[in-house]
């Protein structure tokens, strides 16, 4: 597997792949209020989206992390495929959730080792904003659309969100690092190029978060 994540900050990658980092990330969703709020909102939107998608044969969750959404997704399919760039995250996920109609492997969401249209639904949460270049963020989307037979559910950090607009002011005034964003219309354009159309695009929170949770279906 080519290490296409190199443009990400190496310190972040090292922490994400370490046992300490993986356990800390898992604990955040138990101990930090804003993480619990975002988890609750994501689950609510996912449940709403899957009410439209229906029960499917296969779902790929990439990056799966420690399996935060594993049980929810497993209830929506016959076979759940859990994948992540981090060996440690995959191992932690498998330890906690077992192999009951689940499979696990290490993979980059920029280079998914699966054939075209090989899974019914691909889910990819909270990766796009970690990718340091627009080329990688767009490649991420194209890989999801390539692999999905029916539906893609994905998050990205919106360039037009209130949080990003405020960050742009800070960038100009203080030299703060810009967010890694995508424009909503660019996401729709890439989807259309890949044969998908947007069905839903809901902000996680209008204030306090710039993330959008989108759902796209193959035409």
117: left (phi over 0), alpha (psi -120 to 50) or beta: left
pLDDT tens, position by position, 157-190 = 999 999 999 999 999 999 999 999 999 999 999 9
- pLDDT for the residue 4: 54
- The CA distance from 90 to 94, in Å, is 6
- pLDDT for the residue 219: 96
- pLDDT for the residue 38: 93
Written as tens digits, the pLDDT of the chain (219 aa) is 445 554 456 777 777 788 887 788 888 888 999 899 999 999 999 999 999 999 999 999 999 999 999 999 999 999 999 999 999 999 999 999 999 999 999 999 999 999 999 999 999 999 999 999 999 999 999 999 999 999 999 999 999 999 999 999 999 999 999 999 999 999 999 999 999 999 999 999 988 899 999 999 999
- The CA distance from 132 to 129, in Å, is 8
Residue 65 burial by Cβ neighbours in a 10 Å radius (0-12, 13-18, 19+) = buried
- pLDDT for the residue 185: 98
- pLDDT for the residue 127: 97
Q: Where are the alpha helices (DSSP H) in the chain?
A: 10-17, 19-31, 33-53, 70-74, 87-97, 134-147, 162-174, 184-193
- pLDDT for the residue 168: 96
- pLDDT for the residue 1: 42
Q: Is the pTM of this model over 0.75?
A: yes
Report domain extents, the chain. Answer: 10-218
- pLDDT for the residue 9: 65
- pLDDT for the residue 40: 95
- pLDDT for the residue 19: 81
CATH code of the domain occupying 10-218:
3.40.50.150
């Amino acid at each position: 597997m080519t290490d296409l994540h190199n443009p990400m900050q190496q310190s972040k990658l090292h922490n994400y792949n370490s046992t300490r980092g993986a356990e800390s990330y898992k604990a955040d969703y138990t101990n930090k209020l804003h993480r619990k709020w975002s988890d609750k909102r994501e689950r609510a939107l996912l449940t709403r989206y899957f009410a439209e998608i229906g029960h499917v044969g296969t779902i790929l969750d990439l990056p799966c992390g420690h399996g935060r959404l594993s049980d929810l997704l497993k209830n929506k399919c016959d076979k759940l495929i859990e994948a992540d760039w981090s060996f440690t995250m995959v191992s932690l996920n498998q330890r906690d959730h077992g192999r009951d109609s689940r499979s696990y492997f290490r993979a980059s969401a920029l280079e998914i080792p699966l054939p075209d249209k090989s899974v019914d639904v691909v889910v990819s949460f909270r990766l796009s904003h970690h990718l340091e270049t627009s080329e990688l963020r767009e490649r991420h989307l194209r890989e999801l659309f390539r692999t999905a037979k029916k539906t893609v559910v994905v998050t990205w950090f919106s360039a037009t969100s209130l949080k990003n607009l405020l960050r742009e002011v800070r960038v100009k005034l203080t030299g703060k690092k810009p967010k890694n964003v995508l424009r909503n219309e660019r996401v729709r354009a890439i989807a259309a190029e890949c044969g998908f159309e947007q069905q839903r695009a809901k902000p996680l929170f209008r204030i306090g978060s710039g993330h959008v949770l989108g759902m796209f279906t193959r035409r």
